[in-house]
Amino acid sequence: GTHTICDRKFLLECKNSPVARTPPCCLPQTPGVTSLAQSSLVKLEELKERNESEEAMPDQDQFEMDI
């Protein structure tokens, strides 16, 4: 077989290419693989809401100590 040898600089430049940032046009829609599953979307929304509500709470000690 043949081996293609690329240097590190070239590979790092390819990572930032606009072509590398867009998915292929004819990619099939597979829930959970190429697109988020519906249940995953619901879980993400719940996590966002939970994080927002935790941020809104005043600072409290993580553990209460009885002395």
pLDDT in tens, 11-39: 999 888 888 888 778 878 777 777 766 66
pLDDT of residue 47: 80
pTM for this prediction: 0.31
Judge whether 40 and 32 are in contact, CB under 8 Å: yes
Question: Using a CB cutoff of 8 Å and minimum separation of 24, what contacts does 37-43 make?
Answer: none
Q: In whole angstroms, give the CA distance from residue 38 to residue 30.
A: 11
Dihedral of CA atoms 35, 33, 27, 3 in degrees, nearest 10, equals: 140
pLDDT reading at 42 higher than 80: no
